[in-house]
Structure 1
Amino acid sequence: MTPPTHPSRRTVVTALGAAGFVALPAWPGTAHAADGPVLDTHPATEPSGTHVRDVGGTNVVFRYGVVLPAFDGWRTHEPTREYLSLDRRWRFRFDPRDQGLDESWQYPDLDDRAWGLIDVPSAWDLLDTPGFGSQTGPFGKGTAFADGYAWYRTVVDVPASWRARHVRIAFLAAGYSAEVWLDGVHLGKHEGANSPFALPVGGALRPGTRQTLAVRVFRRASYTDYTATTFRPVTDDHEIPYKPVDYWPYAGLTRSAWIEAVPRVTVAKLLVAGANGRLEARAIVENHGDSDFDGWLTLDPGRESGARPAVVPARIAARSAGVVRVSVGVPRAPRWSPAAPHTLTARATLTARRPSGPRVDTLSTRYGIRELTTEDAQLRLNGKPLFLKGLNWHEETAAHGRAMTPAEYDRELAHITAVGANYIRNCVYNRHPYVYDWADEHGVLVMDDIDTMWLNTAQEKLQTERYGLARALALTMAWNQHNHPSVILWCLQNESEIDPEGAPVYRAWLADMKAAVKAVDLTARPVTWASSTSNDPAFDLADVIGFNEYFGYFYGKDADLGPTLDAVHAKYPGKPILITENGTWSVAGTHGPDTTEGTEEWQAARFTAHWTQVAERSEFVAGFTYWVLKDYKQRAGYNQSYNGISVMGLLTFAEERPKLVHEAFRKAVNPRS
């Protein structure tokens, strides 16, 4: 089979002292929508109003005017709360000409009986796209290429008992952006395809009645014409990513949604940090009532902690938020590690008047006891140096796109442990909460990412100085994944532009996002990013130096990697180094000499050459992240000959069959094992 006309993965790594590099294609510097593709509208700043406030000495994330709550309702139903699942079949209609608002599609009296139907969760890409998972399928046809606006509608019977409740509607994801109405009342807009959001319902709720929920979802087109020989990209300065990228931008309500009714005095979020024999907890309590709350909070550190529950006063003024701090010694609690992934469950219980008084609200969270440090150019867990044998992976299957089922997650993630990996990089977006729970339970370490991929200097400046979506994504990543012991690294960006004249802008952008995650992370996890160069002008800001490298593929020779690592270490001798991407490609079933590009043998040999150089330097290189676990779909303007499938995986896309590199990766010995 003929190799792809264009490379499957584009990157630039300027090695210290290396001669060659391959440039990224030129992209428009400003928003562009030629020949009619619809662009979404944007307010002056990102629409959720995400920000941090100091509440009693604890930094708390607010969004839509309230505390950003825990999203455990997808799996855990607290006994003090009521839940109404929105995972069901909704009415659905594409709106390619953006006529829905003018025609009042958000209002309850609309006759939508002629609309189509769609499941929530699902990606509308898979609604009608024959051959989506096949390398020989027709690229550019079907709902996988339906862009612009689409509308969802459903009706809900609101219990009369919710009159005395604070009610919010939670969505685990909506790609790319979503606006929500209840009986025609606009509740808010969310931007960011892969991060959860919750909208307070407020006065739009009419308990004891049937109400109509309408959601308008938007996805920007990647190109003006997906089948043209010359690609004309569609971009938007405000969006992240702002231009076509080489993964699939699945559209729709791709993860679970529900309505949650909580007491007016409620534990919105429970932050915990377990280390060195202690559990430090912050219960963020909201009082939506008109009266001050004067009660107690009991923190139970969990059955296996060896500690008794702690009881402290909880006084929260009316119409405000407060933080109740609790510190509990847990000297006999087992530590969490990849070899022994012990998790515990902490539960916060609010009671009125006295500790044994009426229960007002509860919130539980899983956590682990572990110590994470960076020192002497090493990443250490519980005092022992780590070497991360890892994989990048994309959250998708041929059958369901990004709306994966639990069985699909179990099968997909099992591939990671089967090859002896101890670490995954969530390139380049947050995953479903199932993934973090799975990693906690299976002892797999995680680097969590956000969608800040391939920004240029103009977008970095816009995000830092005005729009603030990059900061919001960083804040919510750290806030939402805070309690997971498996999450050990925050990744701020992937291969974004470092213009020599724009280096101060780039540094300010990274510093802004780093400050955001550090502000809310009680455990002070290390911060890194997947740089496009080994000579990044902001590496001094990183706790762990991370860069993508493709020596011997896009530029230079395989053997250039070792000297490059040595040069980076010499410049930053105290910092661990992490290879955040490396890989090549092969078409499954194509065999030949390991010097012939595109054969399985060539792909496996290139991995081994790079792995060997990294493993030999494990005293200062903290790990290696292969690109990528499985072949994956993308709309980035190349690989159309394979129906948009990038063939860089250890496994094939739809069938998940192993290539030779799968066995080479499995046999690679972790130097810290």
Structure 2
Amino acid sequence: MLSPRESATRERVSLDGLWRFALDPEGRGRSERWWTDELPGDVEVPVPASFNAVLPGRESHDHIGDVWYQRVVRVPRGWDGERIVLRLDAATHRAVVWVSDTQVAEHEGGYTPFEADISEQVRAGEPVRVTVVVNTELHWDSIPPGFVQELEDGRLLQQYFQDFFNYAGLNRSVWLYVTPRTHVDDVTVATTGIDGDTGTIDYRVAVAGDGGHPVRVVVRDAGGAEVARADGAEGTVRIEGVQPWRPGAGYLYTLEVAVLGADGEVVDVYPQPFGVRTVAVDGTRFLINGEPFYFTGFGKHEDFPVHGRGFDPAAMVHDFHLLRWIGANSFRTSHYPYDEAFLDYADRHGVVVMDETAAVGLNLDTGAGVLNQAGPMETYSDSTIDARTQETHRQAIRELIARDKNHPCVVLWSIANEPDTVSPAARPYFEPLVAETRRLDPTRPVAFANFLKATPDLDVISDLFDVLLLNRYYGWYVQTGDLVAAERLLEGELREWAERGKPIVMTEYGADTQPGLHSMLREPWSEEFQIDLLAMYHRVFDRIDAVVGEHIWNFADFATRAGISRVDGNKKGIFTRDRRPKSSAQALRQRWHGTEEPQPDTTRNVQQDPQQDLQGDVPQGVQQPARQA
């Protein structure tokens, strides 16, 4: 699905801001047709934001079911006669949308966009009422899965199998945009090769509306100069003197796609940014532009105080600067697709991304009895994860690739996090999903993040994938505090995986750490223990050539459900939830930048140059930490 971009034939208007809002704990809104009138009450909430983070009190924080958003908007008067589209960048976890009294859209899945042509429901220059009902529930056939449990006293409790809070609502932007009736409907840019100083790309364009219109594409460099062109809705373009997209150097071209009229006039034009780069797996090496790449970085979350999972450009830019400061060259969109603005920024700045679906919690062995106290359950069955879940999962993969296929920063699709892959039923569940991912995009490797119990002798699906992503917690959940035993177990398992002949990225490892807690004995939960545990993992990585990356869990502390093992959230962050560094941040900066920590310059007036410490060197990513014998 194309992002709403402005061009000579297209305009867009943001509908972000304050919307009327109503909780619907009794589920009356649909039967009483709340969309036909002003919502009850006088509550307003910001969009984008997680309502259950913004509104104080348990009623909103723990709400299960429908919530309602409403806003009156005015369609620009210059849009008369054009195709007018209402787009929601996400609604968590499902939504129905009305314009005035007419339903115009319905969508399942909380992290990918959907839209509706509302040309027949609106008039240019006139106001119109937009109402959205968002349902927060997780079910067995949703991604991620869950179920609503009724307690003995009649209260409802949302059960789920993920270790992050179920923030919901309109967490991303809402737009009105306009295109001509005949318009560019889709663009696919697939980088197929770099030969010396020549880049070759294949492209495909879909046109909607009146048939028979010719298509012309023009490639422009970062300065806007034309460097290549071609005619036709499908073809190959050669770029002489190509400037590749590289880790740490995000050079972008623009494919300017034009639909032409009978006399050659431009009917519609859509600008699609892209980068020229190749991705490949060669034995145990992960290659970008034919060069070995070593991942340094984190699993992250869209999570911040007050607005929860709501997109905030200030928080996003701050996080990217922290990634740069610490020397990270990459991150995983754990455990769902992030707002597309993250990928746009990563494209421009050369940050590498593992793009993950929202398929987290497909493992009742880890979730039941630990995260939700619901008792033991079988992961794959007719009453839990089944064919309906698989179909929702398949659609989530389709929508992820449709949205993100043109981003050069995305080098790998991760289609699940920590599923149960010990059960024999995992193979018939995942095998068609892997095939579908490769059918939709044959240019990128496919992977999933492997759970601790799915060791090489027990896992039943890893042979289907191109890269081994491993989540391991030796020294924390296993052999807690005993880093000598943990190091032995970790190295033993990694050497077994290395025999598979595939690249290995450790996508989760770490320890909960309370900021400010110090220990002479370097005990668990102390900042000293976090440093020691990470150093142990890094020693092991440096001894095993098949390891091509390290993503620490987590970039920052994040919100979870309350519990005796989660006091004020998950504390495995290298930064606190409000982005203060723990002691481990400096140790990581030394490792990932490959230099000793610079000594402070006592002659510099810090107040005159407060940003200098955040700059650092841009990590190029093709060098890995020095191997040790």
Give me the TM-score of the superposition, normalised by structure 1: 0.77
In the other structure, the counterpart of 2:212 is 293
Distance change >3 Å, CA 599–CA 406, structure 1 → 2: same
Distance change >3 Å, CA 470–CA 660, structure 1 → 2: same
**Structure 2 counterpart of 1:633, which letter?**
A
Structure 1 position 279, deviation (Å): 4.0
Structure 1 position 156, deviation (Å): 2.5
Tell me, in whole angstroms, the C-alpha distance in 2 between the residues paired with 1:260 and 1:232.
39
Structure 1 position 595, deviation (Å): 4.4
**Structure 1 counterpart of 2:574, which letter?**
L
Tell me, in whole angstroms, the C-alpha distance in 2 between the residues paired with 1:512 and 1:638.
39
Tell me, in whole angstroms, the C-alpha distance in 1 between the residues paired with 2:148 and 2:387.
29
In the other structure, the counterpart of 1:631 is 557
Distance change >3 Å, CA 299–CA 540, structure 1 → 2: same
String of CA shifts for 1:398-447, please: whole Å, max 9, x gaps: 13222232111111221112111111011001111121122122222111
Which residue of 174, 179, 188 maps to 1:262?
179
Structure 1 position 362, deviation (Å): 0.9
In the other structure, the counterpart of 1:672 is 624
Distance change >3 Å, CA 224–CA 433, structure 1 → 2: closer
Which residue of 66, 73, 91 maps to 1:149?
66
Task: Indicate yes or no: 2:586 matched with 1:663.
Answer: yes
Tell me, in whole angstroms, the C-alpha distance in 2 between the residues paired with 1:307 and 1:594.
63
Structure 1 position 636, deviation (Å): 6.7
Tell me, in whole angstroms, the C-alpha distance in 2 between the residues paired with 1:460 and 1:545.
30
Tell me, in whole angstroms, the C-alpha distance in 2 between the residues paired with 1:350 and 1:553.
57
Tell me, in whole angstroms, the C-alpha distance in 2 between the residues paired with 1:373 and 1:648.
32
Which residue of 272, 283, 289 maps to 1:376?
283
String of CA shifts for 1:34-81, please: whole Å, max 9, x gaps: xxxxxxxxxxxxxxxxxxxxxxxxxxxxxxxxxxx312x2xx312202
Which residue of 375, 391, 404 maps to 2:311?
404
Distance change >3 Å, CA 460–CA 287, structure 1 → 2: farther
In the other structure, the counterpart of 1:181 is 98
Tell me, in whole angstroms, the C-alpha distance in 2 between the residues paired with 1:306 and 1:261.
27
Tell me, in whole angstroms, the C-alpha distance in 1 between the residues paired with 2:132 and 2:575.
36
Higher mean C-alpha displacement, 631-640 vs 339-348: 631-640
Which residue of 448, 471, 480 maps to 2:394?
471
CA contact (8 A) 2:248 2:329 kept: no
Higher mean C-alpha displacement, 509-518 vs 246-255: 509-518
Taking the TM superposition and a 5 Å limit, the aligned residue runs for 1:634-649 are: 634-635=560-561, 637-639=563-565, 642-643=567-568, 645-649=569-573
String of CA shifts for 1:455-506, please: whole Å, max 9, x gaps: 1323898564676111111112122111111111110111112353xx2x31
In the other structure, the counterpart of 1:85 is 14
Tell me, in whole angstroms, the C-alpha distance in 2 between the residues paired with 1:634 and 1:259.
34
In the other structure, the counterpart of 1:317 is none
In the other structure, the counterpart of 1:610 is 537
Task: Indicate yes or no: 2:2 matched with 1:70.
Answer: yes
Task: Indicate yes or no: 2:547 matched with 1:621.
Answer: yes
Higher mean C-alpha displacement, 622-631 vs 292-301: 292-301
Tell me, in whole angstroms, the C-alpha distance in 2 between the residues paired with 1:649 and 1:587.
9
**Structure 2 counterpart of 1:103, which letter?**
E
In the other structure, the counterpart of 1:517 is 437
Distance change >3 Å, CA 653–CA 205, structure 1 → 2: same
CA contact (8 A) 2:218 2:226 kept: no
Task: Indicate yes or no: 2:257 matched with 1:348.
Answer: yes
Distance change >3 Å, CA 210–CA 578, structure 1 → 2: same
String of CA shifts for 1:150-188, please: whole Å, max 9, x gaps: 111112333566453333211111112111011221122
In the other structure, the counterpart of 1:250 is 167
Structure 1 position 648, deviation (Å): 0.8
Distance change >3 Å, CA 400–CA 461, structure 1 → 2: closer
In the other structure, the counterpart of 2:25 is 96
Task: Indicate yes or no: 2:267 matched with 1:338.
Answer: no
Specify the SS of the correspondent of 2:240. Answer: coil
String of CA shifts for 1:344-366, please: whole Å, max 9, x gaps: 22211112124xx2211111122
**Structure 2 counterpart of 1:607, which letter?**
L
Tell me, in whole angstroms, the C-alpha distance in 1 between the residues paired with 2:267 and 2:521.
66
Give me the TM-score of the superposition, normalised by structure 2: 0.83
Distance change >3 Å, CA 497–CA 211, structure 1 → 2: same
In the other structure, the counterpart of 1:136 is none
In the other structure, the counterpart of 2:326 is 419
Distance change >3 Å, CA 298–CA 369, structure 1 → 2: closer
Task: Indicate yes or no: 2:149 matched with 1:217.
Answer: no
Percent of pairs with identical residues: 25
In the other structure, the counterpart of 1:55 is none
The CA RMSD over aligned residues, in Å, is 2.7
Task: Indicate yes or no: 2:426 matched with 1:497.
Answer: no
Tell me, in whole angstroms, the C-alpha distance in 1 between the residues paired with 2:399 and 2:209.
22
CA contact (8 A) 2:151 2:157 kept: no
Tell me, in whole angstroms, the C-alpha distance in 2 between the residues paired with 1:326 and 1:256.
34
Specify the SS of the correspondent of 1:164. Answer: coil
CA contact (8 A) 1:246 1:636 kept: no
CA contact (8 A) 1:558 1:610 kept: no
Task: Indicate yes or no: 2:504 matched with 1:577.
Answer: yes
Q: Which runs of 5+ in 2 are unaligned?
A: 139-145, 363-378, 480-484, 595-622
Tell me, in whole angstroms, the C-alpha distance in 1 between the residues paired with 2:590 and 2:151.
41
Specify the SS of the correspondent of 1:439. Answer: helix
Distance change >3 Å, CA 106–CA 113, structure 1 → 2: closer
Tell me, in whole angstroms, the C-alpha distance in 2 between the residues paired with 1:304 and 1:163.
34
Which residue of 477, 492, 495 maps to 1:563?
492
Tell me, in whole angstroms, the C-alpha distance in 1 between the residues paired with 2:387 and 2:293.
33
Structure 1 position 263, deviation (Å): 1.1
Specify the SS of the correspondent of 1:91. Answer: strand
Higher mean C-alpha displacement, 605-614 vs 205-214: 205-214
Taking the TM superposition and a 5 Å limit, the aligned residue runs for 1:178-327 are: 178-201=95-118, 203-207=120-124, 209-220=126-137, 234-235=158-159, 243-274=160-191, 275-276=193-194, 277-289=198-210, 292-302=211-221, 308-313=227-232, 324-327=233-236
Across the two proteins, how many residue pairs are aligned to each other?
557
CA contact (8 A) 2:213 2:260 kept: no
Higher relative contact order (CA 8 A, sep 6+): 1
Task: Indicate yes or no: 2:523 matched with 1:596.
Answer: yes
Tell me, in whole angstroms, the C-alpha distance in 2 between the residues paired with 1:387 and 1:111.
54
Specify the SS of the correspondent of 1:417. Answer: helix
**Structure 2 counterpart of 1:70, which letter?**
L
CA contact (8 A) 2:258 2:268 kept: yes
**Structure 2 counterpart of 1:361, which letter?**
D
